[in-house]
Amino acid sequence: MADETSTAAEKAAGKSFFKELSSAAAIKALTPLLATAATAGTTYLTRKTTEIWHEAVLPKVREKGGVKPLAKEALDNLADRLSGRPGQLVTELAERLGEGARSESPVDHGSTGKGGATKPEDSRAPEPEPDREEERKQRQQRRQQRQRALQKSAST
The pLDDT value recorded for residue 152 is 84
Instruction: Say if residues 90 and 79 touch (Cβ distance below 8 Å).
Output: yes
pLDDT tens by residue, 3-28: 555 565 556 566 677 778 788 888 88
Cα(68)–Cα(103) distance, rounded to whole angstroms?
11
**Which of 37-41, 115-119, 134-138 tops mean pLDDT?**
37-41
The pLDDT value recorded for residue 18 is 73
Cα(156)–Cα(144) distance, rounded to whole angstroms?
19
pLDDT tens by residue, 23-38: 888 888 899 999 999 9
Residue-averaged pLDDT of the chain: 77
pLDDT tens by residue, 48-99: 999 999 999 999 899 988 888 888 888 888 888 888 888 889 888 888 887 7
Cα(97)–Cα(66) distance, rounded to whole angstroms?
12
Given pLDDT bands bounded at 50, 70 and 90, which one contains residue 107?
Answer: very low
Cα(46)–Cα(103) distance, rounded to whole angstroms?
35
Sorted by sequence, the CB contacts under 8 Å of residue 68 that are 6+ apart come out as 97, 98, 100, 101, 104
Cα diameter, the chain:
110
pTM: 0.38
